[in-house]
Structure 1
Amino acid sequence: MFIYTVRSGESLYSIAHKYRVSLEAVQSVNQLPAGTLVPGQDLIIPTNHYIVQPGDSLYLIARMSYLSIQTIMTANGLNSYALTVGQRIYLPPRSKAIADNLSFIVPTEPSEVEALIRTYQSVSTYIAVFDYHISAEGELSQLDDTFVIRTLRSHRIVPLATVTNLTAAGFSAELASTVLNDAARRSRLVERIYRLMTNKHYGGVMIDFERVKGEDRETFTEFLRLLARRLKEGGYVTAVAVPPKTREDIPWMLGYDYRGIGAAVDLVFIMAYDWHEISTPPGPVAPIGAVRQTLGFAIERMDRRKILLGLPRYGYDWAAPFTNPANNRAVSVQTAIQLAFRHRVPISYSVRDEQAYFSYRNGQGRLHQVWFENIRGRAAKLDLAVRLRIRGGGSWQLGLEFPQSSYLVNAFVQARKLI
């Protein structure tokens, strides 16, 4: 496998022809409708051979295939860096790490749920069903999740129940604080979660309390300790989603004690995205530098074998003057590419951030800027996760179209199966 970036004037046929691969294979793995290529668009070329083109070098081929130069040279018996146009270079399969993979799913129509689970079964260890809301009394809301739990288990995926502090107005720091700081309510919530595990045959819980206050830092960690201890009695997994901290003194992340949380739970899903989002100016959603810094910060404070790198299956479309969140929106990876195609604009790539971006004007002439996670961006993060030897990764959320994501995960790791 290697990743190719489309150039101006190229077609799917010309790309497949020059690399001597089946057009249908390229079209299938990238889920490309006919004639929808955009200059700057990334494609996975599903082959273990590379045909040298004018201007190629071993360095370039290594970057495209995410293999080292030495690996390529050894596999091909090369004694020098010299290449000839048309030369066939063997790309050996990567040595795959065994990794846990956890993603989120929102229950919809049974046919849609089943199709999503079938698509991602080979790369999924856990899938967290979103979501159960907590109440101020420590009770849980209802969720019609019987079908999704049964379907997950039939595909050997451990179902997790996602428990959140979501309200109609969004994630509520006040709601979390009310429950966390009252021993009776906190204990009630622990028991309600335990009962949910046993009654609905979940394999564990994903706690997604967002915007936890700095003053609730200790009580949040203590809640996780109590919950993990209770769930362990039944053999259930305790996972928690946390924001991407790069240092300890970020004001809106003071409620998350990485060291204490890491010691308390089984899995820590780091939400390594939204460095830029609808309420900020345009920019990379998951820049590689910040992701690397977050993982370094986490590894210093918890067992790396508990860390899951959470990645986005989306980006954002900001409308000028970029100051009103109501004018901005989230877009899936596939939607972003379709926008570039529809407006006939090339896609650019920030090598520094490992993120794709482009600008366009809509029918009224209004300027838009789009940043999103593309194939190269995802591959760079998977490569980083493997090199840092963390537990695995995952994404928010299945259903946001990123056609090549399963292929990429399979190229870098082998998903652990627990059932």
Structure 2
Amino acid sequence: MRDGARPFKGLGQRGVRALTRGLGALVPSSAAALPRTTVLRLRRSMRLSTPARRRLRLAPLWAGAAAVPVGVVMLAVSLNRVPSSGSVQPSASGTSERPGAGIAATAPAMALPAATMAPAPAPPAITSSPTLRPHEIFGFAPYWTLPIAGGFDLRDLTTVAYFGVDVAPDGSIIGGGDGWAGYQSQDLAQLISAAHFAGDRVVLTAKSFDQATLDRLSSDPTAGDRLGSQLVQAIQAKAMDGANLDFEGLGGADRVGITRFIAAVSGRLHAANPHWQVTVDTYTSSASNPNGFFDVPTLARVTDGLFVMAYDMESSGAASPNSPLDYYSANIIQSMAWYRWAASPSKVILGLPFYGYDWPTTNNAPNAAAAGNPAPVGYDRIRASGLPTYWDPRGSVPWTAYQVGGQWHEAYYDNPQSLAMKAYVADADGLAGVGIWALGMDGNDPSMMSALLGRARPLKLPMGPSTVSASSPPPGAPPPAAPSSPPPAQSPPPQQSPPPSSPPPNSPPPGGGGSSPPSSSPSPVPRVTVP
């Protein structure tokens, strides 16, 4: 067994006890109703910060329905797992570098009306109780999802990050492009109003994924003050509540400079309003890499929180999970163990994906060899496809397999059960909370948001197809490429399921850590924020 006899060594004794307690309630085929509980929600005015500077304030809300515990039973499967001889290894992009850099260039053009203020709708009534302690739920709202933002579950979010505005090499905000048009739109004005009515914080994401721009920002001692001053004006103009900083670079050459830059921006924002939240997006491997782009211990001190982009951890050469909980060389449990060592857990937000990857493969066996590059696919598209659902007990995620012509495909993704398990891990590790890249990629399915509160019905799934078949493309012809996934302006509700032999419909490409939607390889959207 990998890592000796303790596959959950990163979770700690408290985490294992918490997960073990959840198993007893899931053994019966039908769960009994549980006692009513008091729900505590983070309000917009609350802060989750370090030392004596700020305190957490909670406002009670009463829920009237019983909570259903998460399907932690799936996690028990991996306690006795034995890795196969062909253990897959993570790709470079999945382990450390720039999960969001590939999306900015392919975002769809947007034409949104100019902003005027409108009254916010009342949030829906709470119908069930979270089973975890109160925690942050930080969701990215990319500009291309603004047309469907009226369907976002603002009731259960604590922070909405508008993604976002681009930053020039001198630190100034670029007043152009689709992200800027979205910032000026009526759609964003309505989202801000509705989020505030629901008690949520709304922050503005400032971003850059261009290495030359990041080199300049890191070397210019005035760039941080310049961006900080312009962000103050942009935040005040929209009555927003802080900023999310999504700067994704390569290597360690800019490590010192980008840390100084982020510290200067954070200082300017907190000087303007000490209640504003400032978060920064980091890679899954950043805490374990002392020579990487992000200096996690220092960034945790100079900002209010780290949004860890815990996705795009897929392996090279084989179909594999986008965001594995355990077992794979890059996984959430191991990553969070490093983050708890490098920073206060109360400063860490575990960013999770509402999308997965579709791989062309040589057959339909679990972790089949790849026959081409993967394409991102949103949960809404997979759910609407009607394809069979299997369970990967090692990564604790669902997957599916289907055939187009003679070419097999496998898609690994997250669903309510896998997300709820990760929310339990974040709770057991004492993290500030969880985050989402990105709102709308689930088709606004309420069960996905509910899962982040620890609520998901037990789901018993087979581990794979009953028979394994190899792909059989026409002689001499290369295997068909995976379906492309251009990000649509909106995610339509699930339609009638196509036959199992059909591929899932194209889905909005994931953005990430603060980038635009990719057409082939998703980038994690910025995921950071601590109240």
Q: How does 1:11-410 map to 2 (within 5 A)?
A: 19=30, 63=73, 96-108=132-144, 112-116=148-152, 120-141=153-174, 142=180, 143-144=183-184, 145-165=188-208, 171-233=209-271, 234-235=273-274, 236-245=276-285, 248-249=288-289, 254-276=292-314, 281-289=318-326, 290-320=331-361, 322=370, 324-325=372-373, 328-339=374-385, 341=386, 346-362=388-404, 364-401=405-442, 403=445, 404-410=447-453
Contact 1:244/1:272, CA 8 A, preserved across alignment: yes
**Following TM superposition, by how much is the alpha carbon of 1:337 offset from its aligned partner in structure 2, in angstroms?**
3.4
Q: Report the CA distance shift for 1:387/1:225 in structure 2 as closer, same or farther (over 3 A).
A: same
**Following TM superposition, by how much is the alpha carbon of 1:95 offset from its aligned partner in structure 2, in angstroms?**
5.1
Q: Distance in 2 between matches of 1:179 and 1:209?
A: 10
Please, what TM-score do these two structures have when normalized by structure 2?
Answer: 0.55
Partner amino acid for 1:310? G
Contact 2:434/2:452, CA 8 A, preserved across alignment: no
**Following TM superposition, by how much is the alpha carbon of 1:49 offset from its aligned partner in structure 2, in angstroms?**
8.6
Partner amino acid for 1:337? R
Query: In the TM superposition, what whole-angstrom CA distance separates every residue of 1:191-240 from its partner, at most 9, and x where no partner exists?
Result: 11122122221100000111244111111111222122221121311101
Contact 1:276/1:283, CA 8 A, preserved across alignment: yes
Q: Distance in 1 between matches of 2:72 and 2:210?
A: 46
Query: In the TM superposition, what whole-angstrom CA distance separates every residue of 1:43-97 from its partner, at most 9, and x where no partner exists?
Result: xxx97699xxxxxxxxx9972799xxxxxxxxxxxxxxxxxxxxxxxxxx87530
Partner amino acid for 2:212? E
**Following TM superposition, by how much is the alpha carbon of 1:181 offset from its aligned partner in structure 2, in angstroms?**
1.0
Q: Report the CA distance shift for 1:179/1:62 in structure 2 as closer, same or farther (over 3 A).
A: closer
Q: Distance in 1 between matches of 2:322 and 2:72?
A: 26
Q: Distance in 2 between matches of 1:296 and 1:409?
A: 20
Contact 1:107/1:113, CA 8 A, preserved across alignment: no
Q: Report the CA distance shift for 1:295/1:209 in structure 2 as closer, same or farther (over 3 A).
A: same
Query: In the TM superposition, what whole-angstrom CA distance separates every residue of 1:80-121 from its partner, at most 9, and x where no partner exists?
Result: xxxxxxxxxxxxx875301111010023576622222xxx22
Give secondary structure in 1 for the equivalent of 2:357: strand
Q: Distance in 2 between matches of 1:203 and 1:61?
A: 35
Give secondary structure in 1 for the equivalent of 2:342: coil
Work out which structure has the larger RCO, using CA pairs closer than 8 Å and 6 or more positions apart in sequence.
2
Contact 1:126/1:157, CA 8 A, preserved across alignment: yes
Q: Distance in 1 between matches of 2:427 and 2:314?
A: 25
Contact 1:309/1:394, CA 8 A, preserved across alignment: yes
Give secondary structure in 2 for the equivalent of 1:367: strand
Partner amino acid for 2:375? R
Q: Report the CA distance shift for 1:94/1:175 in structure 2 as closer, same or farther (over 3 A).
A: closer
Q: Report the CA distance shift for 1:217/1:335 in structure 2 as closer, same or farther (over 3 A).
A: same
Residues 371-380 or 330-339, more deviating:
330-339
Contact 1:177/1:213, CA 8 A, preserved across alignment: no
**Following TM superposition, by how much is the alpha carbon of 1:137 offset from its aligned partner in structure 2, in angstroms?**
2.5
Give secondary structure in 1 for the equivalent of 2:170: coil
Give secondary structure in 2 for the equivalent of 1:195: helix
Query: In the TM superposition, what whole-angstrom CA distance separates every residue of 1:373-409 from its partner, at most 9, and x where no partner exists?
Result: 1232112101101111111111100011162112223
Q: Distance in 1 between matches of 2:348 and 2:155?
A: 20
Counterpart position of 1:90: none
Contact 2:420/2:454, CA 8 A, preserved across alignment: no
Q: Report the CA distance shift for 1:49/1:96 in structure 2 as closer, same or farther (over 3 A).
A: closer
| More strand as a share of residues | 1
Q: Report the CA distance shift for 1:198/1:318 in structure 2 as closer, same or farther (over 3 A).
A: same
**Following TM superposition, by how much is the alpha carbon of 1:360 offset from its aligned partner in structure 2, in angstroms?**
1.3
Q: Distance in 1 between matches of 2:146 and 2:342?
A: 41
Q: Distance in 1 between matches of 2:75 and 2:130?
A: 10
Q: Number of residue pairs matched? A: 324
**Following TM superposition, by how much is the alpha carbon of 1:329 offset from its aligned partner in structure 2, in angstroms?**
1.9
| Cα RMSD, aligned residues only | 3.3
Contact 2:244/2:281, CA 8 A, preserved across alignment: yes
Q: Distance in 1 between matches of 2:68 and 2:278?
A: 43
Please, what TM-score do these two structures have when normalized by structure 1?
Answer: 0.69
Counterpart position of 2:87: none
Give me the identity figure in percent: 19
Structure 1 alignment gaps of length 5 or more? 4-17, 22-45, 51-59, 67-92, 166-170
| More helix as a share of residues | 1
